[in-house]
Chains A and B, each alone.
Chain A
Amino acid sequence: MSNSTAKLPPTLDKNRRLDRWVRINIEGTVTVRTGKVEIGQGIVSAIAQIAAEELDINYSRIRMMPVDTTISPNEGSTSGSRSVEEGGEAMRQACAEIRDALLQAAARKFDTSLEKLSVEDGTIRVRGSSDTITYWQLAPEANLARDATGQVRPKHADEFKLVGKALPRLDITAKLTGAAFIHDLVLPGMLHGRIVRPPSYRAKLLSLDDGAARAMPGVRAIVREGSFIGVIAGREEQAVKAMQALARGCEWREQADLPDVDAMPEFLLAQAAEDENLSDKSAASTAPGKTLTATYTRPYLAHASIGPSCALAWWHEGTLEVWSHSQSIYALRDEIAKILKLSPDNVIARHADGAGCYGHNGADDAAFDAVLLARAVEGHPVRVQWMREDEFAWEPFGPAMVVKVGGSLSVNGNVTEWKEEIWGNRHVSRPGRHPDPGLLAAWHFDQGYEPPPAVDMPLAMGGGSQRNAVPYYDFPGQSVINHAVKAMPVRTSTLRALGAYINVFAIESFMDELAAAAGIDPVEFRLRHLKDERAQAVIRAAAAKAGWKPNAKGDGTHGMGIGFARYKNIGDYVAVIAKVAVAESVRVVRVVAAIDCGCIVNPDGIINQVEGGIVQATSWTLKEQVRFDRTRITTRTWEDYPILNFSEAPKVETVLINRPEQASLGVGEGMAGPTAAAIANAVFNAMGVRVRELPMTPERIVAAMGE
């Protein structure tokens, strides 16, 4: 963790008032407001743990509040595995300053110096005296209505009492006993809404016969705005039935404007693109050895959260209140205000927990749907829930991509030259990143709003499509080019790990191909190309835990493979070793991961994320692909989109390397790419077959065997 306090952490710098972050309550609790949201990753509990640590209070005193635009700090979006890095650092500094303010107040009260004071669970003692006072007693006189200064140093790692401990999450008991999600919110006078989406992205509504729906019991209003249609009813099942009746009354004009789902690589390679050089360094001329090339592909992938998106909206007395499980509550508020030409001051957005969020899904869109429906029944809150079919057909997918890699080896088996090119859409279409409205319903208005083009973050901030496209290895010569495809026929946006999933899959598969060509063990081959000792350490730790045997060959059906990456090249270090059994399909039997994420806040929280990320990436890698015909998304239900089940989920063992003196690094996404590569490399190790197209279905394995 950083010792420097000269500069405030960026999100604290943007939200300096200390009382925005923490309120000390006279009854002995502490209200804590983070700008980061719980999306199933346990982050709110990790930030609570950091707050308790710096304040020197018991974890059980903390009351975490959901993000609320009337009061919470604005920390941007909860994404990119940045929550502990950004939100945790800001909370740490804010709480250190608040603890200092309380101690200063106590010192004044007892006319003593700070050095004489100690704190335990909010009780301040004066050394060598019987004087004590509590935070709760001091609350009225400690002035927190002031800005952070950066003049107070947070704790050193050797002072930690709570950070580094496996404390239980704050939200789990409620979730497995009853109401806990946005889906479960009930407001007085609440009505239920459903949306009738067009059958395809650019379908136009020619006519609507809503007579049958209007006559149905409980129907309160039907909303039509261009090709956007919604219905509001008193009871939820009434809204569902009315939605079905409305759908039957629609006549649409559709166009066959989608590419061939089975020829996406060819489509992407043929498109106009914005080209950018990500890395360009020329090697001193070396005697050429072997040269290899290979092409890797991934399909569109769905977030496919188990709970479809849900939102509530309520227009009353000139104010619009919205509840959403969006990752970016402030940006959602601003986007709604922008489209409807409202002042953001008249819009309140609040977070409530949704089902697992693995990137930009339907959450923001559902919120705007609820806003549009609720406008028709002012004074009544409206709850909109998407149906499963809505979520599959309309969520933005993780983009299909192609990566071509070429590499040359010296006679002693070192990489001398690396050439890599990537093709695909950029990855970020979140609301608020573009002047055009980034909320689905607006594209169906008669105004003819267009979906905004996706963007990428700069590479220095982790990028998007180009995330992890530049290898972390030290090669003498290297060129990496991103061809950001402009045409976006299928709606896409961020999915966990963004471009890093395929970029690492490609780099790490190709490293194995080069290692095989050089006749060098894959672990040894990686180590000799890495200078960073932390990178080497995770590879060694994973190999030791997995029982890696150098140069061991598989037996035709069983094999082991490794994948490594440093997420975004600036984040956590991840080495994954997969053991597979190949019969009619690939089964991942066991996965070992070694992680270095700097200072560990909650080891069990990290292991939970790592286990989950590996199982999810195994599912993507073996099974998943969004399907469409030339007009419509045809993936609509779980039958169309099988995911890994309990019998198929691999066992996962995690080795954590704690570095308490280093900055904490997020762990949500780093394992996705290494897992895909480890599986492909294990298949190669098992049977000598190289699979370069995802997902690795039985058909693809058979096809690869023929090559």
Chain B
Amino acid sequence: MTETIKLNVNGVEHSVTAEADTPLIYILRNDLNLMGTRFGCGLGQCGACNVLIDGNNVASCDTPLWAAAGKRTTTIEGLGTPDHLHPLQQAFVDEQAAQCGYCVNGIIISAKALLDRNPEPGEDEIRAALDRNLCRCGTHNRFIRAIQRMVREAKGNVAR
């Protein structure tokens, strides 16, 4: 049975009609055309589809539509655009932190969740925060360097 459910995604109110148990990822990608959230496993094991819901880092493949109703969802598109990259995205570009790039957006979302609660994490804290994100190309160290760059630059901006 389909229902009409209200969502707030990247600050925009949406009303979508689908079965309430539909995994959120399909709504984001196919109804809202937010393709930066990637399907990886459908079981919440790889992190490729991570989004923020009320600031919490969750797997959108494993989250039913109803669970996002009335909450604020943030996808990679909510951080920045190609012309106006979020500083985290910019740091990833600056470090060329991608190989295939499929897992990256889930990693940026996990990094955002980490930095929101701990703006100056140490390397071990960054690694631990990403342990539920899988990367198959072996780009781990570049991702860590990108996040460290973002932290460094954010600090520099504050100091100035």
User: Which residues of A are in contact with B by a Cβ distance under 8 Å?
Assistant: 39-42, 168-169, 171-181, 183-184, 186, 217, 235-237, 304-308, 353-358, 385, 387-388, 604, 608-609, 611-616, 618-619, 637-639, 643-647, 649, 651-652
Q: Which residues of A contact B141 (CB under 8 A)?
A: 611, 615, 649, 651-652
Question: Which of B19, B29, B131, B136 sits near A358, CB closer than 8 Å?
Answer: B136
B158 at the interface (CB under 8 A from A): no
Q: Is the CB of B38 within 8 A of A183?
A: yes
| In the bound complex, CA of A644 to CA of B131 (Å) | 9
The chain B residue with its CB closest to the CB of A642 is B134
Q: Which residues of A contact B66 (CB under 8 A)?
A: none
Q: Is the CB of A42 within 8 A of B99?
A: yes
Give residues 70-118 of B contacting A (CB, 8 Å): 76-77, 80-82, 85, 89, 92-93, 96, 98-105, 108
Q: Is the CB of A237 within 8 A of B19?
A: yes
Q: Is the CB of B137 within 8 A of A612?
A: yes
| In the bound complex, CA of A184 to CA of B36 (Å) | 8
Q: Is the CB of A172 within 8 A of B93?
A: yes
From residue B61, how far is it (CB to closest CB) to chain A in Å? 9
Q: Is the CB of B34 within 8 A of A178?
A: yes
Of the listed residues B18, B46, B76, B81, the one surrounded by the most CB atoms of chain A closer than 10 A to its CB is B46
Q: Is the CB of B40 within 8 A of A306?
A: yes
From residue A213, how far is it (CB to closest CB) to chain B in Å? 16
B60 at the interface (CB under 8 A from A): no
B154 at the interface (CB under 8 A from A): no
Question: Which of B33, B35, B39 sits near A307, CB closer than 8 Å?
Answer: B39
Q: Is the CB of A306 within 8 A of B139?
A: no
Question: Which of B35, B48, B137 sits near A184, CB closer than 8 Å?
Answer: B35
Q: Is the CB of B82 within 8 A of A173?
A: yes
Q: Which residues of B contact A614 (CB under 8 A)?
A: 138
Given contacts A172-B96, A388-B40, A637-B41, contact A178 B138 (CB under 8 A): no
Given contacts A178-B34, A178-B35, contact A611 B139 (CB under 8 A): yes
From residue B126, how far is it (CB to closest CB) to chain A in Å? 8
Q: Which residues of B contact A173 (CB under 8 A)?
A: 82, 85, 89, 93
Q: Is the CB of A388 within 8 A of B43?
A: yes
| In the bound complex, CA of A705 to CA of B41 (Å) | 37
Q: Is the CB of B133 within 8 A of A612?
A: no
Q: Which residues of A contact B139 (CB under 8 A)?
A: 608, 611-612, 615
Given contacts A177-B76, A237-B22, contact A608 B39 (CB under 8 A): no
Q: How large is the interface on B (under 10, 10 to 19, 20 to 34, 35 or more residues)?
A: 35 or more
From residue B49, how far is it (CB to closest CB) to chain A in Å? 10
B149 at the interface (CB under 8 A from A): no
Given contacts A42-B99, A387-B42, contact A615 B140 (CB under 8 A): yes
Given contacts A172-B98, A178-B34, contact A236 B105 (CB under 8 A): no
Question: Which of B35, B41, B96 sits near A179, CB closer than 8 Å?
Answer: B35
Q: Which residues of B contact A604 (CB under 8 A)?
A: 96
Q: Can you add 9 more A-B contacts, CB < 8 Å, to A173-B82, A176-B89?
A: A40-B99, A306-B48, A306-B102, A306-B134, A306-B135, A355-B38, A611-B142, A615-B140, A616-B136
Question: Which of A236, A355, A637 sits near B43, CB closer than 8 Å?
Answer: A637
The chain B residue with its CB closest to the CB of A619 is B138
Q: Is the CB of A304 within 8 A of B26?
A: no
Question: Which of A172, A175, A304, A646 sits near B136, CB closer than 8 Å?
Answer: A304
Q: Which residues of A contact B105 (CB under 8 A)?
A: 175-176
| In the bound complex, CA of A217 to CA of B135 (Å) | 36
| In the bound complex, CA of A236 to CA of B61 (Å) | 12
Q: Which residues of B contact A611 (CB under 8 A)?
A: 138-139, 141-142
